[in-house]
Amino acid sequence: MKTVYFDSAATTQVRDEVIKDMQKVLAENYGNPSSTHAFGRASKTIIETARKNIAKVLHAQPQEIIFTSGGTEADNMILRCAVRDGNVSTIITSPIEHHAVLHTVEELRNEYNIVVEYVKLKDCGTPDYEDLERLLKANDERKLVSLMHVNNEIGNILDVQKVADLCQANNALFHSDTVQSIGHFSWNVEETPIDFMTAAAHKFHGPKGVGFAYIRKNSNFKPLIFGGSQERGYRAGTEPVHNIKGLETAFMMAYNNLEEERAYVQGLKDYFKATLKEAIPEVKYNGNCEDTTMSTYTLLNVCLPMSAEKALTLQFQLDLKGIACSKGSACQSGSGKGSHVLAQILSDEDLQKPSIRFSFSKFNTKEEIDYVIDVLKEFV
């Protein structure tokens, strides 16, 4: 059976070079990074070299990069520490954030009695920046804004510079879940006054189980996990050296090849979008997917014209044909619940139709797109 993978927003295929570097570390650099002998020092060097190289690309300081188990832990760390240690009493976010943010914010409200405000959304799902400014100016309470850079379901791109400037003008902290954009978009934290960012290696052809938090220096956060003094004291526990090496290799390759691979993947999305519209003229694109400047080049969220009854079997049929895609974020697709993102932006009529997220990478081809569209056309 032919198989095609169009679910890179959920997780990406690991690069061969990443696997090779990780295997080498597993075989040769098995010393504990906290040990003072040569084996330990060699492992520690791998970690600190990765930290330095990642920081250089982001125009950050090495001490501002804290390795974690992934984006969810990094989001939790930042939000919790901001409330516990940063005197934040109000968090402003949006109803279409990843649940790593939404559930954490709700838990913090229950634990610390903080105020949680949700910025209004425009019809396409973009935050209303005038409403954000209103919320920031509402009172003198210490605030943190948490808005993701690229939405993981519909691909909308946040105007990070605009939000950062608004936060700076109103003495608010700014956290952005950048899990879907790190490795796919350039960053310069010296020019954009962002305080906190998060990343997960498996979103840019690295291993699962490792990521990092960018925490601007002098944030005065205390440890979230207690034990040893690893990760500048922020996160105790023996570091997974092989995973950190895999993260570094994937990260550096993503940015060394950024322009070439971005142009290729953008071409795939454009081809998919045009060919699907020709095959199924009634198809709709959710969010800002039709606008190349307002939506990421890595994914396309489509609403297909069919009845709710027929829609129930669509994903099953796609799977039978060997097509991997997603009806929402991978974190939600097994829950039986509808997308909380689409519920905010689609009409009741369109919510009854199937919306599918197709996400692309350098490993995809136009031939695979042709196959998927033929299957979709036949089913619709």
C-alpha to C-alpha distances, 115 to 89, 119, 177, 354, nearest whole angstrom: 6, 13, 20, 35
Q: Tell me which of 81, 167, 289, 331 is the catalytic residue.
A: 331
Q: Phi and psi for 91 in degrees, rounded to 5?
A: -115, 130
C-alpha to C-alpha distances, 100 to 140, 146, 196, 239, nearest whole angstrom: 27, 11, 15, 22
What radius of gyration do the chain's Cα atoms show? 21
Do 6 and 302 touch, CB atoms closer than 8 A?
no
Q: Which candidate, 380, 378, 375, places its Cα nearest to that of 322?
A: 375
- Asked about 331 being catalytic, the answer comes back as yes
Q: Which candidate, 51, 47, 50, 75, places its Cα nearest to that of 63?
A: 51
**Per-residue DSSP letters for 59-112?**
T--GGGEEEESSHHHHHHHHHHHHHHHS---EEEE-TTS-HHHHHHHHHHHHHH
Q: Which candidate, 304, 305, 316, 297, places its Cα nearest to that of 360?
A: 297
Any idea how long the chain is? Answer: 380
- Please compute, for residue 301, the number of CA atoms within 13 A of its CA located in the half-sphere on the CB side: 27
Residues classed as catalytic: 331
